[in-house]
Structure 1
Amino acid sequence: MGAEALVKFLAQRLDYLLSKESVRQWSRELRDTIYDVEDLVDQFITGANVSDESEKALLIIRCGSDLESIQVRLTQILDRKPQCDTSASSAGGGHGESSSSLVDPGDQSLALLVSEYMSLPYYLRSCLMYCCVFPVKCGLSKGTLSRIWMAEGIIQAKSGEILEDVAEEYIEKLVSLGLLETELDCRIEFKVPYPLHRFLVDEMMEENFIIACSHSEPIIPATAGHVSIHNCWNDAIPNLNDLPIRSLFVVGIRYWEHPKFTSYGLKYLRVLHLEWIRNMVKLPGEVGDLIHLRFLGLKKSRFRELPENLRHLLMSRCDLPIGIGRLKNLQSVKGVYARGSISRELGCLTQLRELGVVLNDYDVGELSTSIMKMSGLLSLTLSVGSIFDDLLDTLEPFSPPPFLRKLQLEGRLVSLPDWLSSTENLTKLRLGFSHLFENPNAVLQFLPNLKQLTLWQAYNAKQIGKEFCPVGGFPKLEVLVIASNNLVEWTEIEKGALPSLKYLHFHCCSRLMILPEGLQYVTTLQKLSLFPLHGDHARRLDPERGIEHYKIKHIPEVRFFE
């Protein structure tokens, strides 16, 4: 009866908290008032840069008057706060008892997730909501989530901690509660479990917090604050110009006529994420006038100007406009070509936390000098024009920023860069299409804080042995991803090696026939993935008669396809 009582308790609790229109209306008014305060602050900061003193004086008077009006409205809203009856919280019980045959297991699972969600502080609820703006099957990286949360201003600053670290704490908390699922393929991604995702989207749409549209003709109410449009293959994109939207996510549509970004509604955008829109080659010039915009995510687009308050710019192999060095609020720049004067201009962005560039051989010296000025840089990605053919210049001579945590090198390497051994704070490293002939782990094993290592077509060996991951090396490594068309056999792991490993993932290792002897001693391993798995190897790992099954039977989750 415990499960039945639990569901009854949750039904009472949700009925009260989620279906009372007075509570919804009050919350909506409070949220809209907060948005008005944010807009007023942005307008004041932007207007304060004008040179005309009379205009500044008028701005101060106008903003002061508006602020007083908002303060009166806020006081009135707070005075009308609905009184919550807490009697529902005493209902139910027996959370630790087993499932009742009267309750569908799937429903009980959702009920538990919703219970965890309802117990979250408001800022973590908001963070989880933003995980639902993309289609349910889309995994989100830790970086994408963090940047969206920061752009929306929902991360609570902590003394002595940078926002990126606070965001990571939020993600770890949501994962520990089961509200975010971790998936490992080419990279670690996070998803909201499907039943909870559907529940949250329904609730957010009912409150006009996030309006999600797909497939059918979308109807977006005039009070919508955040809009997510995806997979509308009938091109039924509504007119957004007159809606007071703060966030706009458009993913996977064939055609979209550019909206007027400076019209009444869209000029308040804080987050604009446009991905895989087939006809979008160039953004309209008005994007540069979006004074509130903090996050801009684009794929394969061009533009002439960027908003001066922009903080996060995510691209996919695009050219930057001249003048990027003036944007002193930028914290993230990814997927851009470093050529011409851009390599030199990047040196003005000393406040960057994250940088990802496609190298141009003629400007490598300028780029190396620019990056060394970014003393607070946490993440660096260097790639080449053609990852299959071009040699990656490793910026030598180069001294990496002292706090660098994440490094991604995409392109052929003759050898590992000399400076790599000095990146003592590095926690995540990806070598992509390096095609090295010498074991990279001879150097990488000594990185004291490395937690995630991806070797994607990085090492050309057909056979690797115990020297690949020796005892004493990789003291903190938790995730190891190997993709190799050449690898046939990993012969041995010494007992005591890889003391912290949790995830081992083989991708594109179609010739791999033998897992290492000693894998059975890696007791920390939680998940093993092999995509694809050779048919003969599948028989060797078969739990009934497989001669290699003893190596993997201690692993809680094993995934593969033949």
Structure 2
Amino acid sequence: MQMAKKCGGLPLAVIVLGGLLSTKSSLVEWERVLGDVNSYLNKVQSHQQYEGVNEILALSYYDLPYYLKPCFLYLGNFPEDSEISKRKLIRLWIGEGFIPTLTGPGDTKQRLTEQVAEGYLEELIGRCMVQVDRRDHTGISGVKTCRMHDLMGKLCISKAREENFAQVIQQSSMWIDGSAASSSEYLGGSHSRRLVIHPGVHLQYHKAHWACITFFKKLVSKNNPQSSSSSSVESNWVEHVHSNLRSLLCFGGILPLSALKSSNFRMLRMLEIPVVGASDEIIVVGGLGNLIHLRYLRLDAVNRDITLSSSIGNLRNLHILDIKRCYLVRGSMGMISRLIRLRHLLLPYSMRYNQNDFRIDKLKDIETLKNIEASVLIRSYDALHKLTNLRSISISFDGVYYNYNDDDVRRVLGSQIVQSGRLTSLGMFIYNSEAGFLSLESLSSCHSLSKLVLEGKMKFQQQQGLIHLPQSLTKLTLWFSEIEQDPMPVLENKLPNLRFLMLGWNAYVGSKMVCSAHGFPNLDTLQLSRLSDLREWIVEKGAMPSLKKLSIEFLGSLKMIPEGVKFVTSLKELEIEGMGNSFCEKLQVKNRIEGQDYYKVQHIPFIAFH
């Protein structure tokens, strides 16, 4: 009570102090904290509230165990109020070496390391130093994304500078007049081996370059009309970064790849950088081959075509290659086969390369493989049976590039990749093809599978297909399945742990759907989209007792929301999109007059119409 009073009614101070105390188990520890609080909160009592909060946050930082301090400071690298992906954060922590290396076989060691990293994040959340933004659908309090309170973020940046942990360049903190002296003054004072660039900061490098058009300043002006208001650092900035820089993260700012040819970047281990160029230009991403110590590489080229040069094959220490946010990738994809230490490979949706050169079977340690073309797996020297360390994979069957048939889909589902039982996430996408799913029987052995996405026609009787889905599933998405019988009875009985269900784009082509009493006991989110034939939807009393979010989108034949929705008292959010005026007006209150079906949804706190 004494400590709570000293917080002066400041919510953030109370929350953080409570998180700090939650880690103390004895009276002696509490008394020690009280002694610290008495000195740290003097500024609060003297009505300097803003300064007082900063002192409380500093106290929580100093109380962190040694292994959590770098993990906490790393969060300050992200732009203010940004949503931080847990998966990305953990991979960055591991790449930086913050997580201790554990003993054991390769795949087991990596899994344990990631579990330790997740534990670190949970500990920071428990101390109320990090806020949970979104949770995943694993049912074990998993975190999907997190964020920092703005004051906590400022503390991170401040402490990072004090300890030479990281240098964060923000647009609001720049004073650049275009001279070499200004860049030297800002960058030369830091001894940090980590450099982070935030949105609005344009770093220029005037030497001949191999990834941008002739003169970078012209490029910025051409493609960024607002660039005149953005901060920029002239070419000499490269000379003033740490001579052994280990980490360079460009979160939305602009930095030419040509700068990386400087010897100051030769020790880089972590690199995230945008690839920029004219809208109609194919950009050659070369020259990365001298960064042989890289462990993490992410290239962002939204709406840009890029060509990978063969030098990427020199990055033999690379663990993570993320080019998912590139619009189209061409070139030396075969060189990726030489990256034998690669564990996570995230490819873009569109690629142009010689599939015969891409020996995916050589990446024996690979654990995450996103957007891989099925033909690469099928034709790559028995890769379907060699890559048994995979835990997350999404596979495209695009008929534009390969003439797939039902047997190709069957081969993938029956492969050792799937039947090994290691997969936790599987996505299979069939489009521009007559191929489909003849059976899902092989999925019954996937006892660790929690996330499943299937896009393509189900060419089986329902009882021969959906009944094979593993009970471990917590997230299920079905698109273009063309299921003729109501899938809900099977899914309700077979998947008691399901927390997220999406049926979209004629996944079901029947006219009636029934959600039974006591069905889906743990379902948190239900999304129904573009089921054009659905006319009648019945929700029985007691159905979906845990449902929090319901999305109804473009169900053209559905005339009213089910009566039973009024019994789903757990609902917090209802989203209606692309439904007719009559459907929507029944759920609204206009001129203090309730619509015909308003009583069904009046208990829902948030209702949105799009």
TM-score, with length taken from structure 2:
0.64
Contact kept, 8 Å, 2:297 with 2:320, in 1: the verdict is: yes
The alpha carbon displacement at 1:254 in A equals 3.4
Aligned to 2:395: 357
CA distance in 1, matches of 2:501, 2:565: 18
1:310 paired to 2:342? yes
The alpha carbon displacement at 1:477 in A equals 1.9
Aligned to 2:365: 329
Q: Deviations over 1:295-333 (max 9, x none)?
A: 111133252223111111111244664432222221111
CA distance in 2, matches of 1:494, 1:137: 41
How many residue pairs get matched? 477
Aligned to 1:392: 436
Q: Deviations over 1:339-383 (max 9, x none)?
A: 152382131111211121113436435423243453322211111
Contact kept, 8 Å, 1:343 with 1:366, in 2: the verdict is: no
Task: Give the letter for the 1:409 counterpart.
Answer: L
CA distance in 2, matches of 1:322, 1:488: 44
Contact kept, 8 Å, 1:232 with 1:253, in 2: the verdict is: no
| Structure 1 residues 185 and 330: CA distance shift in structure 2, 3 A | closer
Task: Give the letter for the 2:167 counterpart.
Answer: M
CA distance in 2, matches of 1:341, 1:419: 29
CA distance in 1, matches of 2:93, 2:9: 36
CA distance in 1, matches of 2:64, 2:568: 35
The alpha carbon displacement at 1:546 in A equals 3.2
1:338 paired to 2:401? no
Aligned to 2:498: 450
SS at match of 1:500: coil
Q: Deviations over 1:117-156 (max 9, x none)?
A: 7766565565566667666687565554555455555456
Q: Deviations over 1:229-269 (max 9, x none)?
A: 25456968733543232211124733666353232xx2221
CA distance in 2, matches of 1:125, 1:508: 48
Contact kept, 8 Å, 2:384 with 2:415, in 1: the verdict is: no
Task: Give the letter for the 2:335 counterpart.
Answer: E
1:505 paired to 2:526? no
Q: Deviations over 1:379-427 (max 9, x none)?
A: 11111244xx654335666354332222111223345672653412222
Aligned to 2:133: 182
Aligned to 1:192: 147
| Structure 1 residues 183 and 5: CA distance shift in structure 2, 3 A | closer
TM-score, with length taken from structure 1:
0.68
Aligned to 1:376: 422
Contact kept, 8 Å, 1:133 with 1:249, in 2: the verdict is: no
Aligned to 1:292: 317
Q: Deviations over 1:63-110 (max 9, x none)?
A: xxxxxxxxxxxxxxxxxxxxxx9975443569xx9x999868xx9999
Task: Give the letter for the 1:342 counterpart.
Answer: S
Aligned to 1:66: none
Aligned to 2:542: 496
Give the unaligned 5+ runs of structure 2: 18-32, 161-165, 169-191, 204-236, 398-403
Task: Give the letter for the 2:446 counterpart.
Answer: P
Q: Deviations over 1:480-537 (max 9, x none)?
A: 2222263777754323221222333345558766333333433333433334676552
CA distance in 2, matches of 1:178, 1:463: 50
SS at match of 1:445: helix
CA distance in 2, matches of 1:134, 1:412: 41
SS at match of 1:477: coil
The alpha carbon displacement at 1:473 in A equals 2.1
Aligned to 2:228: none
1:428 paired to 2:475? yes
Segment of structure 1 superposing worse, 451-460 or 545-554: 545-554
CA distance in 2, matches of 1:100, 1:509: 60
- Quote the sequence identity (%): 24
CA distance in 1, matches of 2:118, 2:8: 36
SS at match of 1:238: helix
| Structure 1 residues 186 and 331: CA distance shift in structure 2, 3 A | closer
CA distance in 2, matches of 1:511, 1:354: 37
The alpha carbon displacement at 1:193 in A equals 4.9
Segment of structure 1 superposing worse, 546-555 or 124-133: 124-133
> More strand per residue: 1 or 2?
2
Aligned to 1:211: 196
Segment of structure 1 superposing worse, 494-503 or 479-488: 479-488
| Structure 1 residues 235 and 521: CA distance shift in structure 2, 3 A | same
Contact kept, 8 Å, 1:451 with 1:477, in 2: the verdict is: yes
Give the unaligned 5+ runs of structure 1: 14-84
CA distance in 2, matches of 1:458, 1:172: 39
| Structure 1 residues 234 and 125: CA distance shift in structure 2, 3 A | closer
Task: Give the letter for the 2:318 counterpart.
Answer: L
Aligned to 2:250: 229
CA distance in 2, matches of 1:445, 1:486: 22
CA distance in 2, matches of 1:238, 1:245: 13
SS at match of 2:415: helix
Contact kept, 8 Å, 2:550 with 2:574, in 1: the verdict is: yes
